[in-house]
Amino acid sequence: MNAYTLLPFIVLIAAMFLMTRSAKKKQQQAATMRNEMQPGSGVRTIGGMYATVKEVGEDTVLLDAGPGVELLFAKNAIGAVLTDDEYNRIVHGIEHDLKADTDIVPDDASSLTETDESDSPAAAASDDKAVDLGKKDVGEDGADTAEATEAKAEDEPKKTDGDSDAK
């Protein structure tokens, strides 16, 4: 046999070996993470539920999901063991910010554009001049532009079904 005919099979076997090796490493990391769980740590299940570990058994974990709610899960159902800061941020909305002394950027720019002269944004908006958008207002005699366009349309000859603008 020629070496060129065996090359695709060798490459395929090597790729399968590398993929199974990386999958085994991920499984081992997940198993060590689940074995290192201790009571009081925050976890996320594979179903997306956040809870704290109450007891750890051989193959099961007792989770405290809220006041008076205890759930028994298999260890394999734990998707991630979270740090205390991450668990508090997700579950309780508590941000642990090390840069608390720095200025906070507002969510909107309205506070950045306001001046000290006006007390409210409504007062600042009323001072602006009206912008002409090309619309015509109703005249003093009550006739508006719609009546003027109707009068123009009456002056032009009416089209029938057979007429067209094409020449």
- Total count of domains within the chain: 1
Compute the distance between CA of residue 40 and CA of residue 143 in angstroms, rounded to an integer. Answer: 78
CATH of residue 61's domain is: 2.30.30
Kindly report the pTM of this predicted structure.
0.46
Q: Which pLDDT score, from 0 to 100, does residue 37 have?
A: 86
- Whether 146 and 153 have beta carbons less than 8 Å apart is answered as no
In a domain, 110, yes or no: no
In a domain, 57, yes or no: yes
Domain range for 8 is 3-92
Q: Which pLDDT score, from 0 to 100, does residue 72 have?
A: 94
Q: pLDDT under 70 in the chain at which residues?
A: 1, 96-107, 111-112, 114-128, 135-167
Compute the distance between CA of residue 125 and CA of residue 139 in angstroms, rounded to an integer. Answer: 26
In a domain, 113, yes or no: no
Q: Which two tokens stand for residue 21?
A: 């090796």
In a domain, 20, yes or no: yes
Q: Which pLDDT score, from 0 to 100, does residue 106 have?
A: 64
At 10 the three-state DSSP class reads helix
Element spanning 27, H or E: helix 3-35
Q: Which pLDDT score, from 0 to 100, does residue 143 have?
A: 53
Q: Which pLDDT score, from 0 to 100, does residue 89 have?
A: 87
In a domain, 140, yes or no: no
In a domain, 115, yes or no: no
In a domain, 155, yes or no: no
In a domain, 165, yes or no: no
Q: Which pLDDT score, from 0 to 100, does residue 49 have?
A: 92
